[in-house]
Amino acid sequence: MSHLTIKKVCLECSDEFIAKSSKGTYCSKKCFKRNYRKLLKQNSVVIPKNKPIITKENLNSKHYLSVKEAVIVFDISEVTLRRLIKVNKLNYICLKNRFIFLKSDLEKIINHLLLK
Ligand SMILES: [Zn+2]
């Protein structure tokens, strides 16, 4: 048996597979992508249509925020936020035509602005 052979169980489909490195946790790229999408879904900001009121409290636990949510959480204007995106101070993911930010990134930038 080669010392490079590492038997692992795929986190996504629970199949056994041979990992090329000790870091591999999925049997295939397909499983990796599927799991990634799942994670993205869990963290994504889906605002139910029948629940238009978003409060700071129910956004607190989220890791990712949309523009509209960030405006509520950080009490800044949408214009300011969009300007930050434009000048590339903010990393974002574009998901279904919406900008999604990592909350911690946003926090850093806003704290920086407030200290000025
Ligand atoms: Zn798999």
Residue 59: how many CB atoms within 10 A of its CB? 16
- Shared domain for 33 and 80, answered yes or no, is no
Determine the distance separating the centroid of ligand 1 and the alpha carbon of 17, expressed in angstroms: 8
pLDDT tens string 47-57: 566 655 667 77
pLDDT tens string 90-105: 888 888 888 898 999 8
Determine the distance separating the centroid of ligand 1 and the alpha carbon of 34, expressed in angstroms: 9
Structurally, the chain folds into a number of domains equal to: 2
Determine the distance separating the centroid of ligand 1 and the alpha carbon of 1, expressed in angstroms: 23
Determine the distance separating the centroid of ligand 1 and the alpha carbon of 28, expressed in angstroms: 6
Encoded tokens for 38: 């799942």
| pTM: predicted TM-score of the whole model, two decimal places | 0.47
- Shared domain for 33 and 64, answered yes or no, is no
In a 3-state reduction of DSSP, which class is residue 44? Answer: coil
Determine the distance separating the centroid of ligand 1 and the alpha carbon of 32, expressed in angstroms: 8
**Domain hosting residue 66, numbered range:** 56-115
Contact 116, 106 (CB under 8 A): no
Four-CA torsion 100, 105, 110, 112, nearest 10 degrees: -160
Residue reference for tokens 């300011």? 80
